[in-house]
Amino acid sequence: MGNTGAPMSLILTEQRIRFTCLSEPHLIETLDLDQLVDDLADGTPPGFLTPERLCVQDLVVLATLPDPGAKHDPGAKHDPDAKGCAGGRYLGLLGARDATAEGRAFLQLDMACVAPRVRGQRLASSLIARAAAERIGRTAILAARTATPAWFHALRHFTAALSGAAFHPTPDGAVVTLRTAALARRIAGALCPEHRHDVATGVLHGKWPVPAHRLRRHASADAWCEAMREAQPMVSERLLAVIDLHDVPEAALRALAPPDEPPKAEHPKRDCPTVGHPKPDHKKIRQPKAG
């Protein structure tokens, strides 16, 4: 995406980003995927940004930069001659799914994408905060599987911005929260039973799809490593991040991604407490004489 104006950092500070939450299937299905890809992709569209993946999300959070002269409609179809979405253009998307692990509800952060020009400005934290605030009455636990370091660090940055939030796995040298570690073990068993979860590091150990190589029966480990050097196997390992927000006030979550509020109408002051009935003038009311 080319640079067509002022730096995006100025846009983010000078203009208000609109966050929209969609939870009804018919609204999620009507999202314009072409427009999302145009605004969010950096050359090659992300492999997860597909209609099939979007339709299974229970909650979709959109961040848009509104067009001051247009009415925002996140589900509107794309106009090829218009720039951005109907209310401006998309800056970020987060998809989440409601899930349970051993009877414990949690919100699985299933997909996320931020426009290239706003990466590194903590927009992902705002998307996560808005999703967490929408589900705060159901659960205070968030979980995400990731093989992307940038997404993992975004989750950690989000947690660091909230006093009272607990993140697992903890950074090296930090104190491990036993409650969050136990939650991570339960969630790992529900989300990916085919993997072995290392509760200390958060790694979900999978398999390596390795091409077959003819090695001698008693080949050394060095020989095996040398044979595998040119194979370039694909790592199927993932990281499981779990965030516990039980001790975080809802106001703190909404402060990271404040909802749009319609302007309040100013009602004219009335001189009488009840419409159509004038205020009584007590001076003119005659008091009955004592008999």
Go through the domains of the chain in sequence order and give each one's CATH number: 10-256 (3.40.630.30)
On average, the pLDDT of the chain sits at 75
Exposure string of 111-132, with b = 16+ CB inside 10 Å and e = fewer, is bbbbbebbeeebbbbbbbbbbb
The residue whose two tokens read 């002022």 is 6
Tell me the pLDDT band of 195, cut-offs 50, 70 and 90.
Answer: confident
The residue whose two tokens read 């409650």 is 179
Mean pLDDT of 56-78: 73
Quote the pLDDT of residue 291: 47
Is 74's pLDDT higher than 80?
A: no
Is 95's pLDDT higher than 70?
A: yes
Quote the pLDDT of residue 121: 85
Q: Answer whether 85's CB lies under 8 Å from 64's CB.
A: yes
Is 282's pLDDT higher than 70?
A: no
Bigger pLDDT: 174 vs 102: 102
The length of the chain in residues reads 291
Quote the pLDDT of residue 4: 35
Mean pLDDT of 181-210: 82
Q: Within 13 Å of residue 13, how many CA atoms lie on the same side as its CB?
A: 5
Task: Report the distance separating Cα 208 and Cα 214, nearest Å.
Answer: 17
Tell me the pLDDT band of 240, cut-offs 50, 70 and 90.
Answer: very high
Q: Answer whether 143's CB lies under 8 Å from 243's CB.
A: yes
Is 8's pLDDT higher than 50?
A: no
Question: Is 131 in a helix, a strand, or coil?
Answer: helix
Bigger pLDDT: 211 vs 43: 43
Bigger pLDDT: 9 vs 174: 174
What is the signed CA dihedral for 185, 189, 192, 194, rounded to 10 degrees?
Answer: 110
